[in-house]
Amino acid sequence: MSSAGAGEIPTEGHNNGLNQSQMQANLAAAKEARKRSELDAQLLANRIALLKQEEEKAWKKIEETRSRAQKIIDIREQNEQKSAAKEEFYKNRWDSIRAAQNCNQQNREKSRAVREAARNGLMEARRTNAAKSKQQSHQILFQKKEREAQHLNSNFEKGDMIKQKKEDAKRRLEDERLAALERSRQDYEKRAAQEDLLRNRTEALVSQMEKEEMELIQRLQNTQTVQRNAYEELEAALGQSTEPGMTSVRSSGFGVNVMCGKVPMDADEPRPAA
């Protein structure tokens, strides 16, 4: 008569060959095997849930990292656009200043040419008037001398007294003419000196204003350079900003890299300019 092994479930034909203790032992062994299977299944389910949870956290970190990287790229692009706009603004402003400066220089040259032409014309007119006045004076004097000579010749017999009176009158007239010419010459020299003084003062003022204008332009260029350097330093600071390092999470043979805020750089993606 053969007996069933431990842990085996006897067939219906051998039930009569097992005693009560053997049947209870077999039943206990079956329950223990079932509990071990259920425990293994529960442990496996827990590991699967933990892996899913870690995977979900990893993807969340990845999305956060990508979002922060995109924000940094957007801020850098905005800063570059602002910098380009400011550079264009200051370039246009500098061009307008240079155009205004050239226009002012041309206007000054035109004004100087007009003043020079007017001064030359005035001096020429004065010389012409002086020459005409001198010629007219000589002609008048000559005509007067002829009349006086004729009068003297016609009245010679009137005596030395009348002749002396005429000669005295002649000298007085000549003195008055010479005095008038001297006054005219002095007035001309005074006006010419005044014109030269005004011209020198104007030219000195124009020279001073041109120097002040160039100093203001240089200061504006220096200010633009300082502003561009400040923008470059800000952009460099944004490009060089870093976050803490990378940690690795591994569970049950399944590894998940978790980024702790640092922007990942894909091998195929171009690195943004600092």
Quick count: other Cβ atoms within 10 Å of Cβ 61?
Answer: 18
What is the pLDDT, as a whole number, of residue 176? 92
What kind and span of H or E run contains 51? helix 20-154
Phi (first) and psi of residue 257, to 5 degrees: -85, 130
Is the distance from CB of 152 to CB of 166 less than 8 angstroms?
yes
Going from the C-alpha of 28 to that of each of 24, 33, 35, 158, the distances in angstroms are 6, 9, 11, 188
What kind and span of H or E run contains 54? helix 20-154
Instruction: State the Cα–Cα distance between residues 106 and 24, nearest whole angstrom.
Output: 122
Is the distance from CB of 73 to CB of 235 less than 8 angstroms?
no
What is the pLDDT, as a whole number, of residue 5? 39
What is the pLDDT, as a whole number, of residue 17? 60
What is the pLDDT, as a whole number, of residue 241? 56
Instruction: State the Cα–Cα distance between residues 225 and 231, nearest whole angstrom.
Output: 10
Q: In sequence order, which residues have a C-beta less than 8 Å from that of residue 79 and are 6 or more positions away? A: 231, 234, 235, 238
What is the pLDDT, as a whole number, of residue 179? 92
What is the pLDDT, as a whole number, of residue 81? 92
What is the pLDDT, as a whole number, of residue 167? 85
- The angle, 0 to 180 degrees and rounded to 10, between the axes of the packed helices 160-239 and 20-154 is 170
Domain residue spans in the chain? 19-259
Full pLDDT tens readout for the chain, 274 residues = 333 333 444 444 444 467 888 888 888 888 898 888 899 889 988 888 898 888 888 898 888 888 888 999 999 899 999 999 999 999 998 998 988 999 998 998 888 899 888 888 888 888 888 888 888 887 888 887 777 777 766 666 667 777 778 888 989 999 999 999 898 888 888 887 888 888 888 888 888 888 888 888 888 888 888 888 888 888 888 886 544 443 333 333 333 333 333 333 343 434 444 3
> Tokens in use for 252?
């049950």
Question: What's at 16, amino acid-wise?
Answer: N
Instruction: State the Cα–Cα distance between residues 26 and 50, nearest whole angstrom.
Output: 36
